[in-house]
Amino acid sequence: MTSPALPLDLLLEGTTVPTTVLSGNPRPGSRTLALARLAATQLDPDTDLAEIDLAGLGGDVLDPAAPAVADALRTLTGSELAVLATPSYKGSFTGLLKVFLDHLPAGGLAGVTVLPVVVAASGAHLVQTQQHLDDVLRELGADVLPGLSVGERQLAAPGEAVAAWHASFVSAELRR
């Protein structure tokens, strides 16, 4: 019996994988969300995206039983592939994203492949935030892909940053 293909393997084969895009930016419809969408479609141009913009949950994000929050948690944990995007706030990912992820138990993202996407003004904050987010995602059991880190200045032409990350990522995966 062969083991099932991972979303990454399927993507490299050109198979469409349903994807969830989640933004931890506290601003609704942020550039962070747009970057996450762009990264998801770079990985799989034909994917059907489910979208979670945590900014739209408002104060309900504190209550895992709130219908919109419970639905968002089910969507994320039921995903094969998720793109989680956050700006860097004080050297780490947003409190909004942390509160949301804290509703999940240890291992709550087992079986989900996650691409972490980080936006920051400084290179040091990019590295720190990416590491903090990767650590939490691994604690939750996610299969964490090499992250996409984008400086704020690159948001003027985000397609270039995403394309460069994708080329490097695919090249590294094909060498494995």
Q: What distance in Å separates the CA atoms of residue 11 and residue 7, rounded to the nearest whole number?
A: 6
Better-scored residue on pLDDT, 137 or 164: 137
Whether pLDDT at 124 is above 80? no
Angle CA(141)–CA(79)–CA(130) in degrees, nearest 5?
50
Grade residue 162 by pLDDT with cuts at 50, 70 and 90.
confident
Q: What is the signed CA dihedral for 56, 93, 75, 137, rounded to 10 degrees?
A: -170
Query: pTM here?
Result: 0.88
Listed in order, strand segments (DSSP E) in 8-158 are: 19-23, 49-53, 81-87, 113-120, 143-144, 148-151
Take residue 173 and report the two structure tokens written for it. Answer: 């995966």
Grade residue 3 by pLDDT with cuts at 50, 70 and 90.
very low
For the chain, which residues make up each domain, given as ranges? 18-175
Residue-wise pLDDT tens digits, 85-109: 999 988 899 999 999 999 999 999 9
Identify which of 153, 152, 132 has the alpha carbon closest to the alpha carbon of residue 84. Answer: 132
Grade residue 78 by pLDDT with cuts at 50, 70 and 90.
very high
By the 8 A CB rule, do 23 and 85 touch? yes
Query: For the domain with range 18-175, which CATH number is right: 3.30.365.10, 3.40.50.360, 3.50.50.60, 3.40.50.620?
Result: 3.40.50.360
Grade residue 75 by pLDDT with cuts at 50, 70 and 90.
very high
Identify which of 11, 37, 1, 42 has the alpha carbon closest to the alpha carbon of residue 165. Answer: 42
Whether pLDDT at 171 is above 80? no
Query: What is the DSSP code string of 86-115?
Result: EE-BTTB--HHHHHHHHTSPTTTTTT-EEE
Grade residue 77 by pLDDT with cuts at 50, 70 and 90.
very high
SS3 call for 50? strand
